[in-house]
Chain A
Amino acid sequence: MSGIIPAPIAQQPWKVIFLLCIIAGFGVIVLYSAAGGSMSPWASRHAIRFGVFLAMALVLSRFSENVFKFFTFPVYVVIALMLLGVELIGAVGGGSQRWLDLGLIRIQPSELMKPAIILAVARFYDLLPIGQIRTWGAIWPALLLMGIPASLVLLQPDLGTTLTILAGGMTVAFLAGLPLRLFVIGAAAMAVMAPLAYFFGLEEYQQRRVTTFINPENDPLGAGYHITQSKIAIGSGGMTGKGFLNGSQSHLDYLPEGHTDFVFATMAEEWGLIGGFAVIFAFFLLLRWGFGLAVNAKTRFSKLVAAGLTTTMFFYIAINLMMVMGLAPVVGIPLPFLSYGGSSMMTIMICIGVLMSIDREMKQKRGSTLS
């Protein structure tokens, strides 16, 4: 290490911070346009939030792997209790509720569970003796870890988050080395169960989302409206877009949720295919960094955590983009760093913070072995 820059500063993962700033900065620009050319109400708060949560991530990155290992299960239990609390309050208050009002801030425990489940399952496989990976004992505790929060979230009911939690946990289990056939059989069982779940498991509004996703033109002014308007925004943007502040779909309110879930459509209308490719490429770089950590990290826990958290971020990005392009039903998952909204930004930044911590420890270890 060159001596000009002090070690703590040089140690910061500048490339990643720079990348995040670019994505979030672009988000600020898009939100500025979505508000009709105004910093309020979204753009300025988005920028502030990003700053605050980035600071939080940097703080998080200072903790060592052992600290994460130590706190994984207690934090998991606390969040699970919070989910239960939300459920109880909802039962008393009547109607579904996802928020827990702690007076100072409102917390959405289901969001926090997304990174927490990764850490918990990773920690479980980390603790599991290597030889037992192909036994029943390697399966049921993980299923329990996933099942408790998943069923609580499903009760809310929030299908999107439930699936994200399950998929995150499964990913870690998959990477931990559970027998491949379990996943093949699981996938086959899913294929059989999906129609049953559709008819018996889903709420009516969720069923409608699925049917309109399959044929949005069926209901152009109802639930299919979102998808159609989003495709109009993206499609009419063409190659280079209509130009900054010239998006008619967003400015004339045809595009619903143009600042949150459908922010990508707002962006694509004004920046075109070029803007869309830039965003996708930026996310590619971010995920490549995450997978790079997973491959190069030294401990099993950090490997599993890195891959798991990266995949969680991928779920956000992929499901959101598929939704706005009409490849997935409308499920209300925001696009990281671009969509306006605190809760998801916090979740993503927790993931980033933990990944940065892994990055730092990895470099330190490499550094120490080199010196």
Chain B
Amino acid sequence: MNRKRKANKARKKRKLITAASQNITFNRRTLFLGGAQAAVGLLLAGRMTYIAVAENERWEMLSESNRVNLTLIPPRRGWIIDRYGKPLANNRADFRVDVIPDRMKDKEGTIARLADLLRLSDDEVGRIKKDLEDSRGFAPIEIASGLDYEQFAALSVRLPDMPGVAPLRGFSRQYPSGAAVGHLLGYVGTVSAEEYEEEKNPLLITPGFKIGKDGLEKQFEQDLRGKPGAKRVEVTARGKIVRELSKREDVPGKPMKLAINADLQEYAARRLGPESGSVVVMDCHTGELLAMSSMPSFDPNSFSDGIGFNEYGMLRDDDHVPLRNKVLKGLYPPGSTVKPMVGLAFLEAGLSPDDTVVCNGGLRVGNRRFNCWNRRGHGRVDMAKGIYQSCDVYFYYFAQRIGMDPIAAMARKLGMGQTFDLPVTSQFYGTVPDPEWKRKKYKQSWQAFDTVNATIGQGYMLSNPLQLAVMSSRIASGRNVMPKLLMPKQRKLAPNLDISPEHLQIVRNAMSDVVNGPGTARRAQLNIPNVKLAGKTGTAQVVGLQFGRGGRDVQWKFRDHGLFICFAPLDNPRYAASVVVEHGGGSSAAYPVARDVLTFLYDRRKAMRALEALEQSWGGTIEQRMARKMNAYVARKNAEKAGENAPVPETDSTAEANE
């Protein structure tokens, strides 16, 4: 019974399903399915409306930012020109290649391909790899500039395989005088991470943009920079430029006019030859700096292109310190070049120029004997003779009578120990010692021998070549001359110093006798009609006498510095100059340089003839000598690398210099 009922029940349930009921189910479910699909259709239509209408603005903006690429065009840097408008730094149109590290996929591979394609030297590749390590990623790194069109084209077609490589047409900084203006102008370079942090200007990380890194380029960065242009281009997803949409030209930076005479600057640099030294020439009435050369130097062109590590290593390792601007940061005992100044102090303190002392080769001061440079003595010496023969005893004797304070005051009045208002990163101001200074510095009282040392520019006395030139200018013109690097809009004569014109004339005449009379530098005479040079020699001891007399027969670094200050023409001074030759072995290394540099101002052809003969004996122009040095350096480095610990004989770079 039970079973039957169950079966019946089951049959009943199954019986409900007939063809007709199945059809109804089908239709119902089809309707449901169709409705669901229609709902999805409506959902899609709604979604599309939402994206295309409600969110339209947002997507349109994204579409535009996809399509349009805004690139800044680095502004052309303002020229730096000399007093006559001749360019010291200008811009050269060129093709260049940068890489943007963040966008690179295979750094090693890409660099290797670029090196192959552009025929880069190992030195260059080394520099690039170092830059890559130091980079912040988003800032471009220069691979090469000054490419010719062929290389540029060859690179451009391979771009799709090398993401992160950015070739562009641009301008690069050019310094026509090369190393001669290295210290004066500085150089430009790509922006470092710190510099970007400081300014946060998108221009700074634009490929091809460079900022001043040193010297005037750095000091006048904002004036020289100019305003960037901009370019809107349509680009594909792969970065290929389809077309240019609009362009705003850049506004080049302002040109900057220096007081420098470009030709003189270069001549002075070349005339220094292989020596380590400096030349400063100024207008002794206005203070305009006509030349400010420090050699050896670096070539700002190669610094601006991103310097190779070998070249940098060579500069760093050179004992002639080409990376230091010796005009401002070289401090030397001024030696006998202070004697006209000391003489002037004597005169102003009331000493008669005719008062004399007998020099027999030395003077006992306290319990110590101070020698005159001339051991045989100068006999009876008055002020003029004291200056033109550079008699030390004259100054030992009268300095003790006058005292240090008037001398120190005169030294400061003539620019010693002074820093000048110049657009430079730093200048060393040296020392004008006096009793108070010594008390402060050493907690010792001033001794008679300190005065004696100071009057011949030794002991504590230190000055830089610019100060020497200023001193010479002030003696020459009697004006309180301040050195000026920029050409002033209105040239102004410096105000007169409160020093008696007669006293100044006495000293000037004595300085003339140094050169034109019975003095120490007769070879410094200018061979120019009606133009007489007046000057004062100086020899600064570097080490104690136990190393020898400091002449040319001792090791280079123990030799005396050679100094010379001068002005011309004698009867109506116009130019003043100072020349310092480090370890030149005495003033005779310095005054021929001064003579030729001043000759250049009056008779270029004559000066050039003298220079050309000299350069032939030195082994070529600055560039040729630097290139040779570079090759030798690389060869030595390679030999060191190859020979591991094999001792490499130290090649004395000065041996050649002093032949």
**A residues whose Cβ falls under 8 Å from a Cβ of B:** 130-131, 133-134, 171, 174-177, 229, 231-239, 248-249, 252-254, 268, 272-273, 276-277, 280, 283-284, 287-288, 291, 294-295, 300, 303-304, 307, 311, 314, 318, 321-322, 325-327
Which B316-335 residues have a C-beta within 8 angstroms of A?
Answer: none
Bound-state Cα–Cα, A130 to B25, Å: 13
With both beta carbons as reference points, the residue of chain A lying nearest to B27 in the complex is identified as A295
Complex A-B, nearest 8 residue pairs according to Cβ-Cβ distance, in ascending order: A235-B59, A236-B63, A253-B237, A248-B67, A236-B60, A252-B236, A273-B52, A235-B51
Contact between A325 and B56, CB atoms less than 8 A apart: no
Determine the distance from Cα of A131 to Cα of B14 in the docked complex, in whole angstroms: 6
Which residue of chain B is the closest to A290 with respect to CB atoms?
B34
User: Which residues of B are found within 8 Å of A234, using beta-carbon distances?
Assistant: 48, 51-52, 59
> Interface SS of chain B: helix, strand, loop or mixed?
helix
Known pairs A177-B26, A235-B58. 7 more at Cβ < 8 A?
A: A171-B33, A174-B29, A177-B17, A234-B52, A252-B234, A295-B30, A307-B26
B352 within 8 Å of A (CB atoms): no
Q: Which residues of chain A come closer than 8 Å to B14, judged between CB atoms?
A: 131, 134
| Contact A238:B53 (CB < 8 A) given known A321-B44, A325-B48 | yes
- Assuming A130-B19, A236-B59, A268-B52, is B66 touching A254 (CB within 8 A)? yes
Q: Are B55 and A235 in contact (CB under 8 A)?
A: yes
Tell me, in angstroms, the Cα distance from A249 to B59 when the chains sit together. Answer: 11
For this complex, 29 residue pairs linking A to B, each with C-beta atoms less than 8 Å apart, are A130-B22, A134-B17, A174-B33, A175-B26, A176-B26, A231-B59, A232-B59, A234-B48, A234-B51, A235-B59, A235-B60, A235-B62, A236-B59, A236-B60, A248-B63, A252-B242, A253-B237, A277-B48, A283-B41, A284-B41, A300-B22, A303-B26, A307-B30, A307-B33, A321-B44, A322-B44, A325-B44, A325-B51, A327-B47
Give complex CA distance A318, B41 in Å: 7
Chain B residues closer than 8 Å to A307, beta-carbon distance:
26, 30, 33
Contact residues in B for A252 (Cβ distance below 8 Å): 66-67, 234-237, 242
B41 to chain A, nearest CB (A): 6
Contacts of A248 in B (CB 8 A): 63, 66-67, 234
List the B residue with the shortest CB-CB distance to A321. Answer: B44
B17 touches A232 (CB 8 A): no
Question: Secondary structure of the A side of the interface?
Answer: helix
Indicate with 1 or 0, residue by residue over B14-56, a CB within 8 angstroms of chain A CB atoms: 1001110010011101100110011011011101110111011
Q: Is B238 part of the contact surface with A, judged by Cβ < 8 Å?
A: yes
Please pick, from A233, A253, A294, A322, the residue contacting B30 in the complex, using a CB distance under 8 A.
A294
A296 to chain B, nearest CB (A): 10
Contact A235/B30 with A252-B66, A252-B237, A280-B41 known, Cβ cut-off 8 Å: no
CB of A277 within 8 A of CB of B45, answer yes
Q: Taking the nearest CB of chain B, how far is it from the CB of A124, in angstroms?
A: 15
* Nearest A residue (CB) for B20: A130
B66: chain A residues at CB < 8 Å are 229, 232, 248-249, 252, 254
Q: How far is the CA of A252 from the CA of B235 in the complex (A)?
A: 7
Which A residue sits closest to B52, measured CB to CB? Answer: A273
Q: Across the interface, do B63 and A249 meet the contact criterion of CB distance under 8 Å?
A: yes
Which A residues lie within 8 Å of B25 (CB)?
Answer: 177
Measured CB to CB, the closest approach of chain A to B52, in angstroms, equals 5
B47-91 contact mask (Cβ, 8 Å, vs A): 1 or 0: 111011101101110111011000000000000000000000000
- A326 partner residues in chain B, CB cutoff 8 A: 51
B42 closest partner in A (C-beta):
A280
Tell me if A318 and B37 are in contact (CB < 8 A).
yes
| Chain B residues, CB < 8 A from A288 | 34
Closest to A255 in B: B237
Q: Which residues of B contact A171 (CB under 8 A)?
A: 33
Would A314 and B37 count as touching, CB distance under 8 A?
A: yes
CA distance A234 to B59 in the complex (A): 8
A291 to chain B, nearest CB (A): 5
Question: How far is it, in angstroms, between the C-alpha of A143 and the C-alpha of B13 when the chains are bound?
Answer: 24
Q: Are B60 and A280 in contact (CB under 8 A)?
A: no
**With A284-B38, A291-B34 in contact, is A235–B17 under 8 Å at CB?**
no
- Distance between B239 CB and nearest chain A CB, rounded to angstroms: 10
- Bound-complex Cα distance A130 to B20 (A): 10
The residue of chain B having its C-beta at the shortest distance from the C-beta of A291 within the complex is B34
Q: A322: nearest residue on chain B (CB-CB)? A: B44
CB distance from A37 to the nearest CB of B (A): 14
Chain B residues positioned under 8 Å from A272 (CB to CB): 52
Choose among B19, B53, B58, B237 the residue with the greatest number of A CB atoms under 10 Å from its CB. B237
Separation of A287 and B40 alpha carbons in the complex (Å): 12
Query: Which residues of chain A come closer than 8 Å to B56, judged between CB atoms?
Result: 235-236, 238-239
Provide the bound-state CA to CA distance between A131 and B37, in Å: 30
Chain A CB within 10 Å, residue with most, of B18, B22, B26, B64: B26
**Chain A residues, CB < 8 A from B19:** 130
Residues in A whose Cβ lies below 8 Å from that of B58: 235
Find chain A residues with CB under 8 A from B62 CB.
232, 235-236
Closest B residue to A292 by CB, please name it.
B34
A171 to B17, CA, bound (A): 20
In-complex Cβ contact of A253 among B33, B40, B64, B238 (8 A) = B238
Partner of B51, one of A133, A231, A277: A231
**Bound CA span A238–B25, Å:** 43
> Which residues from B are CB-within-8-Å of A236?
56, 59-60, 62-64
Chain B's nearest CB lies how many Å from the CB of A245? 14
Point out the residues of chain A lying under 8 angstroms from B17, CB to CB.
Answer: 130-131, 133-134, 177
Question: Chain B residues with Cβ under 8 A from A238's Cβ?
Answer: 52-53, 56, 60
Closest chain A residue to B44, Cβ basis: A321
Note all chain B residues with C-beta closer than 8 A to A304. 26
Q: How far is the CA of A248 from the CA of B53 in the complex (A)?
A: 18
A134 to B16 alpha-carbon distance, docked (Å): 11
A228 nearest in chain B by CB position: B62
From the candidates A229, A232, A273, A311, name the one contacting B49 in the complex (CB within 8 A): A273
Closest residue to A288 on the B side, CB-wise? B34
Q: Which chain A residues lie closer than 8 Å to B236 at the CB level?
A: 252-254
CB of B53, distance to nearest CB on chain A (Å)? 6
A175 to B234, CA, bound (A): 54
How far apart are B258's CB and chain A's nearest CB, in angstroms?
49
Taking CB atoms, residues of chain A closer than 8 Å to B64 are: 236
Distance in angstroms from A54 CB to nearest chain B CB is 24
Nearest-Cβ distance from residue B21 to partner chain A, whole angstroms? 8
Closest beta carbon of chain A to B233's beta carbon, Å: 11
Question: From residue B43, how far is it (CB to closest CB) to chain A in Å?
Answer: 8
CB <8 Å contact, B30 and A237: no
- Which of the listed residues B18, B33, B51 has the most CB atoms from chain A within 10 Å of its own CB? B51
